[in-house]
Amino acid sequence: MRKRTNAQAAGQKDSYRRSEMEFGVAADTYRSDPANKATRNGAVVLQVVLALVVAALVLAGCVIGVGGLTLGGIVAAVVVGLLVVTSVHVCMDWERVVVMRLGRYNRLAGPGLFVTIPLIEFCTLRIDQRMNATPFGAEETLTSDLVPVDVDAVLFWVVWDPEKACTEVEDYRFAVTLSAQTALRDAIGRASLSNVVMRRHQLDKELRDAVEEKVSDWGISIVSVEVRDLIVPRELQAQLSVEAQAEARKSARITLMEAEKDVSEILDEVAQTYNHDEAALTLRKLHLTYEGMQSNGNSMVVPSAYTEGFGVASENDAPQGEGATVK
């Protein structure tokens, strides 16, 4: 029972991790403090203050004209204040507002202060034209070799045409996220696991082009797509590690054999040179003997046949096959 409970808990934890990656909850934990972000609170305060000032002016006019504060004056001040709130707008420098007139697209307003005609014109969508970062993922996507992987990525995009983003698609943010996720699943499904791991930069470019093709008609431009993490099932990690180690050993052996081949070719050239020049071969033997003596306390044990190559006759020469000491 305890093992089953632990397995269920591990499965729930893994599922929760996938849901975090799927909907960007994990990425939201990296966001900075809201106090460090630019806000439009000042614009809202300015709009409210303008409405209050106009309402106060209407009340003051009623008091001066009628000689006192009446119910009609209060109602008129409230109505005028509401009209100011709905017709006077403040747009930040990075914002654009799509203005509709009687249900038809009329103009793109902002940045700064602008006015709409009450009851005839209205602001249907306020669009942020700064760089947007949208985390997205693909849960248990099968590669071409049928390996399920979880992929976590982030999409950087901007809205360059607010009119199209308002009139061509219902929810442009949601549509961009779904398009990126679909392109990610398609790209992974056409490649093997090794290609996905080794070609991450190429995968980023492929995803950018695929998403750009889908969302360009909506007035949206994709700046970049970056894969943040690839999660392989735990039961496959050991097998992939063994495969990687075998590939590394294979590469090392091939490199060693290529080096031995190069050395053998060089030795063959040297042998051909010394084969036609006995004096050069004798000098080379003397040079090797000198180097050996320098590194071994001025003494060296060499085969007797080797000393005979120097043309030196000695009564102390060792028998054939034994060593002789050269000092």
| Shared domain check, 57 and 121 | yes
> Tokens for 16?
């929760």
pLDDT tens, residue order, the chain (327 aa): 444 455 554 454 444 444 444 444 555 666 666 677 788 888 888 888 999 999 899 888 888 887 777 888 888 889 999 999 889 999 999 999 999 999 899 999 989 899 999 889 989 999 999 999 988 887 778 888 777 888 888 999 999 999 999 999 999 999 999 999 999 888 888 888 777 877 778 888 888 999 999 999 999 999 999 888 887 777 666 666 677 678 788 888 888 888 888 888 887 777 777 777 777 777 777 777 767 666 666 565 655 555 555 554 444 444 444 444 444
Whether 227 and 165 map to the same domain: the answer is yes
- Which of these three, 76, 110, 125, is where a domain ends? 125
Asked if residue 24 is part of any domain, the answer here is no
Helix (H, G, I), strand (E, B) or coil at 155: strand
Angle at 310 between CA 305 and CA 312, to 5 degrees: 90
Domain shared by 201 and 137, yes or no:
yes
Asked whether residue 103 is assigned to any structural domain, the reply reads: yes
Looking from the CA of 77 toward its CB, the CA atoms found within 13 Å total 18
Q: Which domain holds residue 318?
A: 279-327
Q: Using DSSP, state whether 299 is helix, strand or coil.
A: coil
Same-domain pairing of 242 and 168: no
Domain check: are 151 and 118 in the same one? no
Query: Same structural domain for residues 118 and 195?
Result: no
Are both 179 and 168 inside the same structural domain?
Answer: yes
DSSP alpha helix (H) spans, the chain: 2-23, 25-28, 41-66, 71-87, 162-167, 172-189, 193-198, 200-215, 234-275, 278-295, 304-308
Q: Are residues 173 and 189 in the same domain?
A: yes
Per-residue confidence (pLDDT) for residue 237, from 0 to 100: 65
Asked if residue 225 is part of any domain, the answer here is yes
> Within 13 Å of residue 179, how many CA atoms lie on the same side as its CB?
25
Question: Residues 270, 225: one domain?
Answer: no
Say if 82 falls within a structural domain: yes
Q: Are residues 271 and 302 in the same domain?
A: no
56 and 114 in a common domain: yes
Report yes or no on 272 lying in a domain: yes
- Cβ pair 203, 196 in contact under 8 A: yes
Helix 200-215 / helix 172-189 crossing angle, nearest 10 deg:
140
Please tell me whether residues 183 and 151 are part of one structural domain.
yes
Largest CA distance in the chain: 146
Question: Which of 125, 142, 177 is the last residue in one of the domains?
Answer: 125
**How far is residue 101's CA from residue 117's CA, in Å, rounded to a whole number?**
9
Whether residue 144 is contained in a domain is answered as yes
Within a domain: residue 309? yes
Inside any domain, residue 50: yes
CA atoms within 13 A on the CB side of 182: 12
Other beta carbons within 10 angstroms of residue 85's beta carbon come to 17
Q: Domain containing 142 — which CATH number?
A: 3.30.479.30
Instruction: Specify the number of domains making up the chain.
Output: 4
Q: How far apart are CA 197 and CA 321, in angstroms?
A: 59
User: Which has the closest alpha carbon to 152: 213, 228, 206?
Assistant: 228
User: pTM (2 decimals)?
Assistant: 0.62
Tokens 């590469």 map to which residue? 251
CA R_g for the chain: 41
